[in-house]
Structure 1
């Protein structure tokens, strides 16, 4: 027991006599029948109504109310010290230490005078442990309450199993294993510390005047740009007042790391991103940590779509093996791409496009009411699947509520889904597909779809997926191209399903160190940050 705890606490923990209705921790492994003040203190918590407390009650009943935290043996002291250390370090994970109040726990332990006090302290320690374990493992927020388009249900840890683990295992190992074990989470923890040091040192210095600068320019604004990029680590310190090749390369590197067109010209969009403070960037990192806690286990190999980055990648054992640009949902209600995880099950080569009802009634019905031959690339069918004669149909008699037809675009080069789509069946009816609108991939911000994920290189993506079908598809390119040339709609099932994670990260790490940032295209991170603040997460006080 640390010396800061009073002797009376040590005496209570070491031995409490049965004669006074108490019990001896030293003999707690022996059968007993009497109800003690210690038991009653724990039982009070068990009936408090909270899920944690029900778990706590079950745990202590199963072990005949023997304590795991407040004993004076080496094991209890080790658990107690490890837990208090973890709670004090909650901020390292972007969690609010005030949520667990380790100093209040320490004070409660130090003020113990009766066996009942001892029991309440034991329960308080277990409650703090379970709260911290749930938060650091699965996050402190309920994702679905933040935004309707965030479809995440974090898997909360089994409290009873956790209490059993901490009571029998190495407490340091148990506590260290609570947080996500993904490579990205570990990197984010490291980059959070690096960013914190920058903030504490005053940030990245003075902001840059909001004016366009390009190679060859000179003057105070160029010096300010150079100084800021030096502080950010993109450029070595120098005295030149000219926008030279070195500065141009630094601007390109910054643009690459922030999802901007890497032209080496410091336009207003680039300057605006350069002027974002280190403290503001910390918000994105803390939100990314919370989001990573929601995601859970990514799997060894998976497809990763990061919406603000407008990319889709295949990650294999931490290494990127494929990347392509994407178009995501337009930033308007009912068209934003949702966040969720599922499994890639099959692809459809030469797909038909079955027009979603929302698009039929909102976009095509008004056109058909004005001109029955509008949208001639679509086949209209009735409930029996028979093609409707447009010329004999009065579409003005229908409304969005009673429109009785289906609409389909047959396979072809101009099909809205392009020549291939990739299916991971889900309630959002969102999937990945080709597109004839290739020009959109040249744009910096690519939010134009109805919610699905369009791929710039869909054929290469198909080859990568088919390469996994070892023994079944020996020549992925040849197999795909021969199927494509038939022109027939063909479903190709994948024997090896691949996890698909459609995520939203405005801050993410680079494999060799450092961070990349993206703009909050849907404003979701701003909502999450506000919710984190309401739970007590705070930023460092120094602006920079």
Structure 2
């Protein structure tokens, strides 16, 4: 045992204690981990899905993404296509990852905020929600737990995907489907399909794509310019703004003939134009259908394939029942005086004067007016297939062409200069010479003459249209179709498809 009272032993003990303490301190200092370097600030400009996958032990990423998607499914216009896209991408926020790095999402937000330049309310694309989610993600996610941050990314991702599809569709096809808006609409109109939607979500350079889909047609640009002037100088009565808004939408519809040559009838303008290589080669007045649902001239697209010189008029049942029979009741010789043949169950009636139209059941009868001066189709009609049985035709009654408002027909389009229209379609040659000679014949006989090359006819409805100098002219909404379309444009986007 140590004698602690001995001076040497005491000194030895003290030195050993000091040595042991130094060793303990040294060993302790070696066992303590060095402080980690400060954690760098979270970079919100890009999300790397592979990094996020490391946290699947705490949260099933794919399941969470699908849960958030299902909660929003009813707000998407193409939910199945969006779901398919993300399924192929393992339910990861690929758009944020792709577009956040160089501020392309902020650029997209800017396009949405300025969409009123197209006459579209930015809220159609839920721009306020996008702005809130994007700002929140950029500025506040650094202070959130990773689970919350990733859920925010999922929600932002889906809202962006839906908005890109909506904006792409709006710029290229319009917001609404005209066939669902109008009753008398049978113009072939291209609409977005599933493949179009998927391709939009695969775009690599968002800004370049957004620029590429901006409408650039001269008509569209002219109406945009007029809209901007209207927005800069707002009036108490916003009717001009409304007119420009609905006509910009009409110009976004893909229903215009793609051929170099076509015939356009603009119903509210009461005018026909022949377009050839982008230029108007012929203009003339027309008369269109009356302001009644059963007499309106329909919007349609077809191809003129033939003319009938000195045409036979197959009188529609609606006209026969409402007008022709009424005339016959007053005058038993009405049919003979007007060169109208009467048929019962398809067989010619030899003596229609003997029929008592006041008591006769008229449903079994049909009527055909023969060529001549009394025929309301005049000397020629231009034929094209359509569901409404309408056509362009001449007329013996010229007085309506002197009127400003020319909605006077039963639905067909009466043309002011039929011979000039025939020349514009056929051109110089034997067939046109036949038409000209047959129309001048004092003893007319019906004759069909086919067009060597069919020419598209586009019967449209624009209440605002720019001339070749870019000046916008406004026309009366004779069928009330502006109001119908304006109400549809005010609906949420998800209800328009």
- Per the shorter chain, which TM-score range? 0.7 to 0.9
Find the counterpart in structure 1 of residue 296 from structure 2.
336
Q: Which of 392, 397, 400 is 1:440 aligned to?
A: 400
Q: Distance in 2 between matches of 1:17 and 1:529?
A: 46
What secondary structure does 2:219 align onto? helix
Asked whether the equivalents of residues 149 and 339 of structure 1 are also in contact (C-alpha less than 8 Å), the reply is yes
Q: Distance in 2 between matches of 1:365 and 1:514?
A: 48
Gaps of 5+ in 2: 1-40, 138-147
Q: Which of 217, 231, 236 is 1:196 aligned to?
A: 231
Find the counterpart in structure 2 of residue 206 from structure 1.
none
Q: Distance in 2 between matches of 1:314 and 1:76?
A: 50
Find the counterpart in structure 2 of residue 88 from structure 1.
113
Asked whether the equivalents of residues 161 and 201 of structure 2 are also in contact (C-alpha less than 8 Å), the reply is no
Report deviation, 1:414.
Answer: 2.9
Indicate how the Cα distance of structure 1 residues 20 and 421 shifts in structure 2: closer, same or farther if over 3 A, else same: same
Find the counterpart in structure 2 of residue 27 from structure 1.
none
Report deviation, 1:38.
Answer: 6.1
Asked whether the equivalents of residues 68 and 76 of structure 1 are also in contact (C-alpha less than 8 Å), the reply is no
Find the counterpart in structure 2 of residue 253 from structure 1.
none
What secondary structure does 1:396 align onto? coil
Find the counterpart in structure 1 of residue 173 from structure 2.
138
Find the counterpart in structure 1 of residue 485 from structure 2.
528
Report deviation, 1:342.
Answer: 1.7
Asked whether the equivalents of residues 183 and 318 of structure 1 are also in contact (C-alpha less than 8 Å), the reply is no
TM-score (norm 2): 0.79
Find the counterpart in structure 1 of residue 381 from structure 2.
421
Find the counterpart in structure 2 of residue 287 from structure 1.
246
Find the counterpart in structure 1 of residue 192 from structure 2.
157
Find the counterpart in structure 2 of residue 397 from structure 1.
359
Find the counterpart in structure 2 of residue 106 from structure 1.
131
Q: For 1:230-259, what per-residue CA distance to the aligned partner results, in whole angstroms no more than 9, with x for missing partners?
A: xxxxxxxxxxxxxxxxxxxxxxxxxxxxxx
Indicate how the Cα distance of structure 1 residues 161 and 523 shifts in structure 2: closer, same or farther if over 3 A, else same: closer
Q: Distance in 2 between matches of 1:46 and 1:526?
A: 31
The structure with the greater share of residues assigned to helix is 2
Find the counterpart in structure 2 of residue 59 from structure 1.
85
Report deviation, 1:529.
Answer: 2.7
Find the counterpart in structure 1 of residue 437 from structure 2.
482
Q: Which of 23, 29, 36 is 2:62 aligned to?
A: 36
Asked whether the equivalents of residues 49 and 92 of structure 2 are also in contact (C-alpha less than 8 Å), the reply is no
What secondary structure does 1:435 align onto? coil
Report deviation, 1:459.
Answer: 0.6
Report deviation, 1:403.
Answer: 2.5
Find the counterpart in structure 2 of residue 539 from structure 1.
none
TM-score (norm 1): 0.73
Structure 1 range deviating more: 172-181 or 493-502: 172-181
Report deviation, 1:326.
Answer: 0.4
Q: Which of 296, 300, 305 is 1:345 aligned to?
A: 305
Find the counterpart in structure 2 of residue 70 from structure 1.
96
Find the counterpart in structure 2 of residue 97 from structure 1.
122
Q: Distance in 1 between matches of 2:435 and 2:283?
A: 19
Determine whether 1:382 maps to 2:344: yes
Find the counterpart in structure 2 of residue 542 from structure 1.
none
Q: Distance in 2 between matches of 1:451 and 1:488?
A: 25
Report deviation, 1:74.
Answer: 6.2
Report deviation, 1:319.
Answer: 1.1
Q: Distance in 1 between matches of 2:266 and 2:57?
A: 59
Indicate how the Cα distance of structure 1 residues 308 and 18 shifts in structure 2: closer, same or farther if over 3 A, else same: closer
Gaps of 5+ in 1: 1-5, 24-33, 204-276, 468-472, 537-544
Report deviation, 1:77.
Answer: 3.8
Q: Which of 275, 283, 289 is 1:323 aligned to?
A: 283
Report deviation, 1:117.
Answer: 2.5
What secondary structure does 2:301 align onto? strand
Find the counterpart in structure 2 of residue 217 from structure 1.
none
What secondary structure does 2:347 align onto? coil
Report deviation, 1:493.
Answer: 1.9
Asked whether the equivalents of residues 13 and 70 of structure 1 are also in contact (C-alpha less than 8 Å), the reply is no
Q: For 1:360-411, what per-residue CA distance to the aligned partner results, in whole angstroms no more than 9, with x for missing partners?
A: 1111112323432224311112234323312332222324xx5212211111
Q: Distance in 2 between matches of 1:479 and 1:76?
A: 69
What secondary structure does 1:69 align onto? helix
Indicate how the Cα distance of structure 1 residues 88 and 8 shifts in structure 2: closer, same or farther if over 3 A, else same: same
Find the counterpart in structure 2 of residue 462 from structure 1.
422
Asked whether the equivalents of residues 185 and 299 of structure 2 are also in contact (C-alpha less than 8 Å), the reply is yes
> Which of the pair has more CA radius of gyration?
2
Q: Distance in 2 between matches of 1:479 and 1:364?
A: 33
Asked whether the equivalents of residues 380 and 387 of structure 1 are also in contact (C-alpha less than 8 Å), the reply is yes
Asked whether the equivalents of residues 81 and 194 of structure 2 are also in contact (C-alpha less than 8 Å), the reply is yes
* Corresponding residue pairs, total: 437
Q: For 1:23-52, what per-residue CA distance to the aligned partner results, in whole angstroms no more than 9, with x for missing partners?
A: 9xxxxxxxxxx8635643575369659551
Report deviation, 1:513.
Answer: 1.9
Asked whether the equivalents of residues 380 and 394 of structure 2 are also in contact (C-alpha less than 8 Å), the reply is yes
